[in-house]
Amino acid sequence: MNPTIVSLIRHGVTDVNREPIFQGQMNNPLAIEGTRQAQLLAARLSFVKFDVLYSSDLLRAVQTAAIIVKPHDKEIRTSSQLREINRGDWTGMSYKACAAADPAGWQASRINPEFRSPGGESFVDLHKRVVTEIERIAMLHRGMHIVIVTHGGPIRAFLRHAVGLPAHHMQTFEAANTSISRFKLEDQQWSLLQFNDHAHLEPNNVVSGS
């Protein structure tokens, strides 16, 4: 059987992405720039064969997926398990406001991967949720190329899993808006093929077929 390829794509930018705010599971649309980013990515992927496309059910991801899928005869399968981390009561709050309202909680959120904001998830919770869902999808479509449009937190969580880092690992890995991170599953082992590739956003750069 061919290896299973999973391409994780972060949604295009939203207006909230530009602010020091916990966006979390807010259902924000793409900004004008985010739509442009998704169109550039769609052009890059227009000649790339993939078998199935999944998306977080949050609007910014679904809008990105809809632009990507236009050149392809594919449906968009949505899953709430691919959402960004749930920040609970901190959702929509600025970092400054969170730090002022709950200094101890704010400090814990920077160093403790098991910390949960009130009503929210921890980074460990996010890791377990995302890894379980992506592995479920991979098992459903073994030997295929799967495209998944999701968010920065889930992409970083799955990267840790694929390269063997523990869920508690707090090192930050940047996944730019509309970046591509590609993973291979073969002989029940994940490996990293590509991470945070956003060459389609670079000025005067023509990228196709990757």
Nearest CA to 170 among 114, 105, 118? Answer: 114
202 flagged as catalytic: no
Distances (CA, A) of 7 to 4, 168, 200: 10, 24, 15
Instruction: Tell me: pLDDT of 204 over 70.
Output: no
Per annotation, catalytic residue among 19, 84, 133, 168 = 84
Structure tokens at 29: 């649309």
As a whole number, the mean pLDDT across the chain is: 94
Distances (CA, A) of 162 to 84, 194, 208: 18, 12, 26
Instruction: Tell me: pLDDT of 170 over 80.
Output: no
What's residue 1's pLDDT?
82
Instruction: Tell me: pLDDT of 206 over 60.
Output: no
d(CA 73, CA 132): 27
**pLDDT tens digit sequence for 2-40:** 999 999 999 999 999 888 899 999 999 999 999 999 999
What's residue 160's pLDDT?
95
Per annotation, catalytic residue among 11, 151, 161, 200 = 11
Q: What is the mean pLDDT of residues 185-201?
A: 96
11 flagged as catalytic: yes
What's residue 209's pLDDT?
42
d(CA 120, CA 115): 9
Q: Return the percentage of the chain with pLDDT > 90, whole number.
A: 88
Instruction: Tell me: pLDDT of 210 over 60.
Output: no
**Topology adopted by domain 4-201:** Rossmann fold (3.40.50)
pTM of the model as a whole: 0.94
What's residue 167's pLDDT?
86
More confident residue, 190 or 167: 190
What's residue 85's pLDDT?
96
d(CA 45, CA 43): 5
Confidence of residue 205 (pLDDT cuts 50, 70, 90): low
Tokens 């972060």 label which residue?
10
**pLDDT tens digit sequence for 79-126:** 999 999 999 999 999 999 999 999 999 999 999 999 999 999 999 999
Q: What is the mean pLDDT of residues 66-80?
A: 96
Domain ranges of the chain: 4-201
